Amino acid sequence: MRLYLGSGGAQIRSDDSSEEQPMTPLPGEPPEMSEGELWPRSKVLRFIDEYKDYKSDPRNRLKSNRQMFDDIANVLNRNFPGRALTGSQAENKWRTLKRSYLGTRRKNNTSGHGRVTCEYESELGEILEKSHVSNPPLLLGPGRVRRRNE
């Protein structure tokens, strides 16, 4: 029998709770796992590979990002049966991966704290190093403009 914290901090047993009260596990207890993880490592690696292939194919240049993420989600759903992905979930995952990678690069380029790692740093680096978001062609400084190759 599990104990939960109800609204107001009162402890509630799992058998005498109602649907009106939100269930929050007590501190120190592991959260309940769902039937299957939505983004296991193998699925994320396949997602990154599909994104890279899709972006490098010249036939896809005129397609929208929404169509791209829908297509990638369909490929992942065929290869990883179970929990189906939508295009918006794939797009959100890409944004999360990109934010994590760029944040890691930003933190590692400043002093004051230790080295930070991103779980998929090498895979994302292949894609995002070519992007002007992570490598701007011009850097403006006080009184000068520096090109990337200087």
Condensed to tens digits (0 to 9), the pLDDT of residues 76-124 reads: 999 998 888 999 999 999 999 999 999 998 888 888 878 888 889 889 9
Query: Going by C-beta distance under 8 Å and a sequence separation of 6 or more, which residues neighbour residue 127?
Result: 48, 51, 52, 55
Tens of pLDDT along 64-80?
889 999 999 999 999 99
Q: What is the pLDDT of residue 31?
A: 44
pTM score: 0.65
Domain ranges of the chain: 1-27, 41-132
